[in-house]
Amino acid sequence: MAHNGDNEAQSPEPSEPIEARAFGGTEYSWCKAVPIGTGVTVLGLLLSKPPEITILQNALHNLQNSHPILRSKIHLDPSTQTFQFLTPASSNVQVQQFDLASTARIVQAQSNGDDDPFHTLLEDQLNDKTWCDYAPRNLDVLYASVYTLAHDRVAVFLRLHTAACDRAAAVALLRELLHLFSGAGTAEIGEGKVSLAIEDLIPEGKMHKPFWARGLDVLGYSFNALRFSNLNFVDAASLRRSRIVRLQLNAEETKNLLAGCKSRGIKLCGALAAAGMMAAWTSKCLPNYQREKYAVVTLVDCRPLLDPVLPSNHAGFYHSAILNTHDVCEEALWELAKRSYTSFINAMNCNKHFSDMSDLNYLMCKAIDNPGLTPSSSLRTALISVFEDPVFGDSAEMHGEIGLEDYVGCASAHGVGPSIALFDTIRNGKLDCACIYPWPLHSREQIQGLVDHMKRLLVESCGSENQQIEP
């Protein structure tokens, strides 16, 4: 597990000005999920030019000053089991440093069959226990670490509580950090204070659902979950950790895949979800006619849909989830991708990303409290999770300025969640998916095989002979 040393967050000084804001329903769900292993967001940078720690420290202070929620502390009231963000007036993050020997010991101790020490350290961060218990101290939402690797390389990691930082916020944070770190300027103008929770910003009427309809939907989700098929479990009894496998395409393969999606009027999320479902179905060696029902969670960045609209770099958690199920047997990838994406769009058009938010949060918390309600107490709620839109980035310039060799942004998922969570990026024209999975519930060999099959399906389906638009 990641090592916090003496850098654990303490309560703010009593004399320091503090703002307080109660958690919303979605944020509360993440506070329940993080201690059991889902919702630790990690940004990892692999650099060939060792950074000046003071520059990194100042950059992080600038980010915390621009985005107050990043300098907040999570406070639990034990008497009511309610949470608050406590936000001091000044930034507070301290960078923890590990020399070459210390880093080598951590990498050796966490050896996982992956020869890449950057991946090993990333997994160590994902499985950190910072937020395993919110009492008795108030805990920071942001931690920073720098590890020294061989050949004058360093790995920089930011570890954040997902209740305060969803993927869109993490992407914006990364871009602002690189901007500051390269000496290109100051932090972008952020929020004046910690903003309201997502539930308080949903446009009027969008979240409304009659009482009986809400009850029926909760029952429907619950009963349907009993019929979901899952990727085969390898070890459902042992303690779990989040691990990573990456799905990467070259520039030509990525170009063909995006063109295939565009020609069919769908987004990349539809193709990725379809490839995951088909690879899972194939792994079971079923007869061609035998169908299995798989669940897909699609995560939507709601910032442009809220009232008022929030800018894309606004820190906090403002995603919602849409859960769809699909009957899968042997079929063409594009047929399943179109079907998957159409179901998602239909749900969006019915405002399910808002109206079902409290239902899904409720069921998530119930699964956490009663894991036996899920198959083999696995806490699996879906086969796969995808984001509506990929992240686009160009790191070529940063490679020359700060020696940026690699970067990954993802979150832990070995508590409640899917069997495989995809965090997709189009970087320098190439698709790079961080695929997070619960180990040893699923083995590395099993997930690597699944991801390799997904890649083959995506590449082969985008061959010239398959580029015709289907009716």
- For residue 471, is it within any domain? no
- Is residue 3 in some structural domain? no
Do 126 and 28 lie in one domain? The reply is: yes
Does 332 lie in the same domain as 432? yes
Q: How far apart are the first and last CA of the chain?
A: 51
On whether the CB atoms of residues 334 and 272 are closer than 8 A, the answer is no
Same domain? 153 vs 272? no
Q: With the CA atoms of 397, 400, 406 and 410 taken in that order, what torsion angle do they form, in degrees rounded to the nearest 10?
A: -50
**Does 457 fall in a domain?**
yes
Name 462's Cβ contacts closer than 8 Å, sequence gap at least 6.
253, 256, 257, 259, 260
For residue 349, give Cα distances in angstroms to 323, 345, 346. 14, 6, 5
Among 198, 224, 248, give the residue marking a domain's end.
Answer: 198
Same domain flag for 246 and 170: no
Task: Please report the pLDDT score of residue 228 as a whole number.
Answer: 85
Cis peptide bond N-terminal to 308, omega within 30: yes
Q: Answer yes or no: do 192 and 230 share one domain.
A: no
Confidence at residue 219, expressed as pLDDT on a 0 to 100 scale? 55
Nearest-angstrom CA–CA distance, 71 and 92: 6
Same domain, 100 and 112: yes
Please identify, among 179, 198, 217, the residue that sits at the C-terminal boundary of a domain. Answer: 198
Q: How many CB atoms lie within 10 A of CB 5?
A: 10
293: β partners? 327
SS3 at position 3: coil
Which residues, in sequence order, are bridge partners of residue 326?
Answer: 294
Please check whether residues 436 and 417 belong to one and the same domain.
yes
Supply 148's token pair.
Answer: 């020294």
Q: Is residue 172 part of a domain?
A: yes
pLDDT score of 465: 41
> Does 221 lie in the same domain as 367?
yes
Residue-wise pLDDT tens digits, 155-200: 999 999 999 999 999 999 998 988 887 765 555 667 889 999 999 9
Q: To the nearest whole percent, how much of the chain has pLDDT over 90?
A: 71
- The pLDDT assigned to 6 comes to 41
Residues 402 and 293 in one domain: yes
Give residue 453's domain range.
200-466
What is the count of structural domains for the chain? 2
Q: Do 396 and 428 touch, CB atoms closer than 8 A?
A: yes
Say yes or no: 269 and 158 in one domain. no
Alpha helices per DSSP H over 23-166: 25-33, 53-66, 100-109, 117-126
Cα–Cα separations (whole angstroms), residue 16 to 11, 59, 84, 443: 10, 22, 17, 48
Would you put residue 152 in left (φ > 0), alpha (ψ -120 to 50) or beta?
Answer: left
CATH number at residue 292: 3.30.559.30
Q: Does a structural domain hold residue 11?
A: no
Residues 213 and 193 placed together within one structural domain of the fold: no
Low-confidence ranges of the chain (pLDDT < 70): 1-16, 112-114, 183-189, 209-226, 397, 464-471
31 and 137 belong to one structural domain: yes
Residue that finishes a domain, picked among 169, 198, 227: 198
Q: Is residue 415 part of a domain?
A: yes
Give domain status of residue 239, yes or no: yes
Looking at 234-267, list the stretches that DSSP marks H as alpha helix, in order from N- to C-terminal side.
251-263
The span from the CA of 4 to the CA of 43, in Å, is 16
Angle separating helix axes 333-349 and 268-283, nearest 10 degrees: 130
Element (H, E) at 424: strand 417-427
